[in-house]
Amino acid sequence: MKKFSLFLIIIISFTIFSIFVAEKTDLFGLQGMHLETSFDEHDGHMVLTWDPLPYPCFYKVDTYSKTTGLVDGEPEYHFFTSGLTTSSSIEVPRSGIPTSYRVTAYGLFGALTPPSEPIENPIYTKTPPAPWTIYHYTEDNPASLMPFLVWHAVPNAVCYEVELLSGLPDQENSVALSKTNHLESTNQIFTNGWQADLKKYASRKFIYWRVRALDIHHNPIGAFSKAEPLYIDASLPQPDHPLLNDFDEMPNFEMPIYPVYQWIPLHGINRYEVELMIQPPATENDTEPTADRIWNKTVDSAAACYDEYARPYAGDYYWRVRAVDKQGNSISPWSDTAHFIVKQQEERVPVAVLGDSITHGGGAVSNSPASLEYSYTTYFDFPCLNLGRSGDTSRMTLERFDQDVLPFKPVNLLILTGTNSLRATETSPESVINDLAAIKQKCEVNNIRPIFLTLMPVNPANIQFAFHVPTDPNWELKLLKINSWIRQQDYYIDLEPYFYDPAHRVMDSGFSTDGLHPDVRGKMLMGEIINQNQDKLKR
């Protein structure tokens, strides 16, 4: 036994010495070596792989997204997160935007190789852009007559169109419906999944399906996905409860302080009940309400539910959703149970943001704040607590200050509220300014640094098309007065100039589909502007 222990010590010592020599003298020429990486995607899971080095080490995998290039002094990439592994592969974070990854090998004394060349997530590298399917129904894994068809979300897509075909389309990678083998299609899909009704095709062994993303006018955003066979087994049980939609969570996902719960709906059903718990239900996929649930809400919405209460208390939360009729009776079992954690915050949060739906998140009309690619805080270079709430006027933001801000007593509070008042004829700019001044006073009394963000322009034509509501014709004058007051404050960040169209009249449609809420590129730009103004933050 003693001889074996001595042998083990000698081997370990030799290994450490070899690594030390290799690292100090670059004996193996590793400093000039670039790790070659490749991707494999399976059912929504992205695995990055590379050739391992010839002796024990560990690997750091960094996740980035490319910046807009519209802010002076910003870097080319925004860093999201790092992962560590001792193997030659790792499951990388999923995301709702194009991301890149770099791998660096490390030994005991530092980096062994330079970072690999950035490798892009292949989901977003197709030209023209096309959805990447997640669920595949093969001969060995056939579908029931009511399968869920699911794909990765396309940034800024408002809705999707699924096409069913009897055979291959007349052209792959096309932007138009097929003239050959077309069976049917629907463009009324407002999330990245759809439960298909294939009962009329029960006698077929298989059909084909594909999907494309559409904008607010139902024009294609890129091409159809590659058509793939959908094998059918009519004897299989049909999915009978909603499908949780967590397929494209951003790196380091955290539920907003005002949670939003989202799912992929059952075919043809638009009424759902969501329940929230602080412990898992006793029975999964049952039909009865949980006895000790802390909150529930019924919504006439196919795919999302907004919680009207903040959830600031640290701990574990569980939620699930079921389809109900008009009387609230269950017409489906509950979904699987989802879980999220509210982290324990510092005694004083360094940075928080306060505001309306622009701060809460969401964009491109149908994407909720649970899709964090539509949150500008996602692109910050520093941690931040999001205290935004959809639907707020400046008065509503003021009224909830004590409830939502003071428990965290942030050192710095970024404030963006009042945009909803621009389009409301009954709200004067003076009333918005009074609300902002009252928020400022509350901050100062509580030793919080208020940092105001100027309001961005709106696009009345796009607002009318998206929401069927008019905009106050005097919105520009209101914007001028409110932003003039903001620019007189000790601390402010000027967003407004970046978001105009070329004529400098309205919000550029390239930043906002609905004319009010910036989409992915607009939220990226907001984050980048704020990053370049970090000197205004109190340390």
Q: What is the pLDDT along the chain (539 residues), one digit of tens a residue?
A: 555 455 444 444 444 444 444 444 454 555 556 688 888 877 778 899 998 888 789 999 999 999 999 999 999 999 999 999 999 999 988 788 999 999 999 988 888 888 988 889 888 888 889 999 999 999 999 999 999 999 999 999 999 999 999 999 999 999 999 999 999 999 999 999 999 999 999 999 999 999 999 999 999 999 999 999 999 999 999 999 999 999 998 988 999 999 999 999 999 999 999 999 999 999 999 999 999 999 999 999 779 999 999 999 999 999 999 999 999 999 999 999 999 999 999 889 999 999 999 999 999 999 999 999 999 999 999 999 999 999 999 999 999 999 999 999 999 999 999 999 888 888 999 999 999 999 999 999 999 999 999 999 999 999 999 999 999 999 999 999 999 999 999 999 999 999 999 999 999 999 999 999 999 999 999 999 999 999 999 98
Q: Both tokens of residue 403? A: 């409830």
- Residues with Cβ within 8 Å of residue 441, at least 6 apart in sequence: none
pLDDT at 122: 87
CATH topology of domain 243-344: Immunoglobulin-like (2.60.40)
Q: Is there a shared CATH topology between the 243-344 domain and the 346-539 domain? A: no
CATH topology of domain 20-124: Immunoglobulin-like (2.60.40)
pLDDT at 21: 45
Among 3.40.50.1110, 1.10.3720.10, 3.40.50.1820, 3.30.70.360, name the CATH number for the domain at 346-539.
3.40.50.1110
pTM above 0.85, yes or no: yes
Please give the biggest Cα pair distance in the chain: 89
pLDDT at 18: 44
* Domains of the chain, residue spans: 20-124, 148-239, 243-344, 346-539
Q: Cα angle at 485 between 479 and 489, to 5 degrees?
A: 135
pLDDT at 17: 44
Q: Which long-range contacts (CB under 8 A, 24 or more apart) does 294-300 make?
A: 297/273, 298/271, 298/272, 298/273, 298/274, 298/324, 298/328, 299/271, 299/272, 299/273, 299/274, 300/270, 300/271
Cβ atoms 514, 462 nearer than 8 A: yes
DSSP 23-63: HHH-TT-GGG----EEEEEETTEEEEEEPPPSS--EEEEEE
